[in-house]
């Protein structure tokens, strides 16, 4: 049966307990989530032979997480992804947010949602088990206007889906774009790269970036480029590594900018579009047969191929995570949307409720 267990993972430097919640689906998948960063620390999932392995990167101790700057498994925000110039205009005012990537902001600044301790509690879930995490971001935190109350609920269903539901309110107009930042490696062996994983993305376009990885405002068709991960009729999805270092082809300059894939794929026009979460991506690892399927109601999804992993993070079992040993599929609004009038709005106003649902499904096949 689906169940949740609660324990203490560690203490913050100021002596605050950080709780860990272990969710079991009752059908072979176990997920561990801690209060610091509302972070998924572990996902145990079986392969086609029933062999269970941990398929996300992470750390063994809270102390290692406190020293880690790669956002592994965390909820990031207020604005996930990048804000160009670490600024945005809203209702005639210019807001300067903290710059933590050159002159830009990445994932909410120096102390984004990934670095705070959320309040976790077991929640009701008729189709499985759940934990709700709540954080109140004060007015002016990292430069953002408005006191923002955000709840993120992780539900592990009895059919092995991890549903992440977000609800947020504010007392002043602000911008909001949280996302989940797990690094997956479906082999269960983080010493191996993910380049042999087969990836399908339901996107016909990307939002290309400048050299600072800030969107130019364009929306570019991916047909015939290394960014076309749509499976063709009668074929299987292609390997992540197939054209990751391609040169001399259309959009190859985008691969050079990111050192591989680190781009927003255009899924739909509007966040929270009617119809609920739709399938956005599927990843298949041929050797063990594990499958990750992503559903979301968001307009974009950042595919990151772990190009920046360099061995600097001490991971589980002392493993130093090397380049491209994990990939991220981050469902979200478009990066830099507050500064791009043609992109979907990221504005949240008093009286409105921000809602987002993203689902990661786990299975295996031959």
Residues annotated as catalytic (active site), given as ranges: 181, 330
CA nearest 119: which of 109, 131, 107?
131
Q: What is the CA radius of gyration of the chain?
A: 19
Q: Which residues of 250-280 are buried (b: 16+ CB within 10 A; e: fewer)?
A: ebeebbeebebbbbbbbbbeebeeeeebeeb
Which 3 state secondary structure label does DSSP give 305? coil
Q: Is-cis flag, bond preceding 78, omega within 30?
A: yes
**Residue from 279, 284, 235, 226 nearest 255 by CA:** 226
* Residues forming beta bridges with residue 215, ordered by sequence position: 209
- With tokens 């939002």, the residue in question is 207
Tell me the CA distances in angstroms from 32 to 18, 62, 208, 313, one per residue in order. 13, 13, 35, 20
Of the chain, the end-to-end C-alpha distance in Å amounts to 26
């Amino acid at each position: 049966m689906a169940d949740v267990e609660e324990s203490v993972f560690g203490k913050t430097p100021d002596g605050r307990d950080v709780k860990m919640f272990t969710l079991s689906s009752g059908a072979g998948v176990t997920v561990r989530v801690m209060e610091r960063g509302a972070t998924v620390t572990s996902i145990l999932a079986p392969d086609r032979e029933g062999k269970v392995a941990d398929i996300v990167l992470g750390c063994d101790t809270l102390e290692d997480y406190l020293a880690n700057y790669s956002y592994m498994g965390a909820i990031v925000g207020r604005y996930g992804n990048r804000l160009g110039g670490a600024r945005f205009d809203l209702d005639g005012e210019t807001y300067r947010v903290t710059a933590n990537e050159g002159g830009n902001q990445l994932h909410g600044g120096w102390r984004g949602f990934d670095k705070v301790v959320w309040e976790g509690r077991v929640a009701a879930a008729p189709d499985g088990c759940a934990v709700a995490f709540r954080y109140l971001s004060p007015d002016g935190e990292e430069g953002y206007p408005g006191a923002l109350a955000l709840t993120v609920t992780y539900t592990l269903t009895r059919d092995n889906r991890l549903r992440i539901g977000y609800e947020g309110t504010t007392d002043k107009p602000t911008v909001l774009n949280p996302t989940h930042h797990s690094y997956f490696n479906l082999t269960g062996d983080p010493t191996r790269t993910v380049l042999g994983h087969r990836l399908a993305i339901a996107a016909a376009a990307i939002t290309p970036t400048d050299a600072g990885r800030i969107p130019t405002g364009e929306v570019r068709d991916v047909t015939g480029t290394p960014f076309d991960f749509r499976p063709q009729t009668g074929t299987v999805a292609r390997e992540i590594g197939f054209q990751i270092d391609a040169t001399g082809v259309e959009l190859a300059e985008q691969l050079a900018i990111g050192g591989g894939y680190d781009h927003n794929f255009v899924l739909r026009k509007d966040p929270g579009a009617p119809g609920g979460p739709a399938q956005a991506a599927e990843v298949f690892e041929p050797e063990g047969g594990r499958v990750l399927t992503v559903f979301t109601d968001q307009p974009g999804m950042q595919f990151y191929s772990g190009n920046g992993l360099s061995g600097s993070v001490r991971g589980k079992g002392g493993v130093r995570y090397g380049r491209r040993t994990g990939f991220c599929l981050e469902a979200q609004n478009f990066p830099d949307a507050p500064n791009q009038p043609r992109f979907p709005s990221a504005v949240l106003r008093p009286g409105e409720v921000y809602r987002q649902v993203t689902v990661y499904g786990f299975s295996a096949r031959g």
